[in-house]
Structure 1
Amino acid sequence: MLDRRYQTLIALAKYHSFTKTAQKLYITQPAVSQQIASLEEELDFALVIRDHGKIHLTPAGEKLAQFATQIEFEGTKVIDSLRNNVEHLKMGCTLSLSSTILPKFVQQLSTRTNIVTTKINNTQHILQNIRDGKVDFGLIEGNFNKKEFDAFLLQKEHFIGVGHNKYRCDSIENLFNQPLLLREKGSGSREIFENWLATQNYNINDFKNTIEIASPSAIIEYLKQNDGISFMYESLVVNELKTEQLKKLDLTGFHVEHPINLVFLKNSYFKNIYQEIVESV
């Protein structure tokens, strides 16, 4: 759908090399230079900075490439939907939400489309998947750049500390000697906990023993069988709290509620569809 020059700009933004861009697009390097120069002349502003053999896009070039990328994959989605009369929704979801919110979304989406694809990963991976057009939207509890993404609020979740029933403490300082189980970097739940620690003038390194585990369910199982603490959404451990397999840590000053959002690219053509989905779930 896009002018070939914009497709070249998208590739150049990705590879930062005239040579590699030419190889990927199966055209000559002079052709890449000519197309970018033609686009700059037409727009009357610079898109590329050449610095001692290295290529950098100007801020305007980066923004234009990002906008062109969005038009490219959203345009393709619209045409495919019209041509095949089949709506194909690709959804991303963070690991922390995959066992709580995701099932009802899959159930609801299956009533309106023949194909539902779901990718499960941490917050940063899902956001990158949205940028790359690998998913249309994501169910995310972590933070995101509101200049780049738009969102609809799904609900708010209580974020709590949990551990073995034997723990009797009212301050985070008293837990520094306990094993801390936390998600990998890029996880929304880890970011929420780290941000709260910072408000108390602490950080992860204040804990003497930290264990990174990518799976929330694996963290829960570990805590049920071993000493340790972790911080996660209360909805993940409702049964464990009821059966007293785990205990909610009553920490002074720790009252965290975080929004769960359906996140998508800013100015998306499909914004109304995403709103309909949120309202129907």
Structure 2
Amino acid sequence: MLDKKMHTFALLAQTKSYTVTAQRLYLTQPAVTQQIKSLESELGLQLVSYQHAHLTITPAGQQLASYINKIDHESQKLLTQLKLPNQQTPIRLGCTRSLSSFLLTHVLQQLHAKSQQIRCQIANTDTILKALTAGNIDFGLVEGNFDKTRFAFVTLRQEPFIGITYADNPLLTGQPLTLAQLLSQTLLVREPGSGTREIFQNWLTMHNAQIKDFQQVIEIATPTPIIQLLTTGCGISFMYRSLVSAELASGQLVQLPVRGFELQHEINLVYLKNSYFAAQYQAIAAHV
């Protein structure tokens, strides 16, 4: 088990404030400061620094905080299993908003017999990865880009990523569309931190363009309102085909024939690197 100084430092790395850390631990601020200094002395590492009176966590400190959160989360989970060998342990997963619309139900169907308690956090890719690092979830279902050197993962499938619009958009002439033609449209796009947004943004960057270059940009945090707006005759958007399979089949929406836009993206089950429970997460992925 980790000693209290480690836990204090992990909380400080999260709050970035000695005052808030002291309040949460019911300690005095000098006591927290002393614990951090003692830990730095023991390890021979600088864990925190000040820049213009602003506390920052050093790169070494960030790695240590991540390690502490991982060990703490996994040790608590293991102890629960050891103490209650005949009982099902809770499952905590995270899922991006896009995947919650077409993949999450299938995953939950696979999990419901494995635990009496299943907790699901739905958020964008960035938030899910932060929750995983902090030990707030066991694994995440993400479609956005992530640092594959920091996390272990199983690729579930490749999903087509397409441009879509309403059926009678004057932009549709039967000819392949150029980026310049797209920029004349209203773009419906997810919020910063969304994996969907990042994929499209990366494609634009490759073509020397940005989201702000569109005639109008409407940011929406979930895919459902975007799809609803599209079906009412508003704008264009870019997302996974599975999100709009029904609307495409009915003819309410159509795929944009964009020249050079042929993207597929990985959908991954992501968990902490070198996790003790890796075999369990891989078994879940095998049935998704």
Regarding TM over 0.5, the answer is: yes
Q: 1:114 to 1:16 in 2, by over 3 A?
A: same
Q: Quote the residue 2:75 is aligned against.
A: 75
Asked whether the equivalents of residues 88 and 114 of structure 1 are also in contact (C-alpha less than 8 Å), the reply is: yes
Q: CA deviation at 1:184?
A: 1.3
CA distance in 1 between partners of 2:41 and 2:221 (Å): 49
Asked whether the equivalents of residues 184 and 213 of structure 1 are also in contact (C-alpha less than 8 Å), the reply is: yes
Q: CA deviation at 1:122?
A: 1.3
Q: TM-score, normalised by structure 2?
A: 0.90
Q: 1:192 to 1:56 in 2, by over 3 A?
A: closer
Which one of the candidate residues 177, 180, 183 is aligned to 1:176? 183
Asked whether the equivalents of residues 17 and 54 of structure 1 are also in contact (C-alpha less than 8 Å), the reply is: no
Q: Quote the residue 2:148 is aligned against.
A: 146
RMSD over equivalenced CA pairs, Å: 1.9
CA distance in 2 between partners of 1:208 and 1:17 (Å): 42
Q: Quote the residue 1:126 is aligned against.
A: 128
Which one of the candidate residues 193, 197, 207 is aligned to 1:200? 207
1:20 aligned counterpart, secondary structure: helix
Q: CA deviation at 1:197?
A: 0.9
CA distance in 2 between partners of 1:162 and 1:88 (Å): 39
Q: Any residues of structure 2 matched to 1:1-281 within 5 Å, and which?
A: 1-49=1-49, 55-84=55-84, 85-166=87-168, 167-168=172-173, 169-170=175-176, 171-281=178-288
Residue type matched to 1:258 in 2? H
Q: 1:224 to 1:16 in 2, by over 3 A?
A: closer
Q: CA deviation at 1:202?
A: 1.1
Q: CA deviation at 1:215?
A: 2.2
Q: 1:219 to 1:15 in 2, by over 3 A?
A: closer
Q: Which range is displaced more, 8-17 or 47-56?
A: 47-56
Q: CA deviation at 1:182?
A: 1.0
Asked whether the equivalents of residues 66 and 134 of structure 2 are also in contact (C-alpha less than 8 Å), the reply is: no
Residue type matched to 2:279 in 1? N
Q: CA deviation at 1:35?
A: 2.7
Unaligned regions of 5+ residues in structure 2, if any?
Answer: none
Residue type matched to 1:125 in 2? T
Q: TM-score, normalised by structure 1?
A: 0.92
Q: 1:115 to 1:197 in 2, by over 3 A?
A: same
Q: CA deviation at 1:33?
A: 3.5
| Alpha-carbon displacement from aligned partner over 1:118-165 (angstroms, at most 9, x marks no partner) | 111111121122122221111101011223222110100000011122
Q: 1:215 to 1:56 in 2, by over 3 A?
A: closer
Asked whether the equivalents of residues 81 and 88 of structure 1 are also in contact (C-alpha less than 8 Å), the reply is: no
Asked whether the equivalents of residues 165 and 245 of structure 1 are also in contact (C-alpha less than 8 Å), the reply is: yes
What is the total number of aligned residue pairs between the two structures? 281
CA distance in 2 between partners of 1:222 and 1:20 (Å): 43
Q: Which range is displaced more, 233-242 or 40-49?
A: 40-49
Unaligned regions of 5+ residues in structure 1, if any?
Answer: none
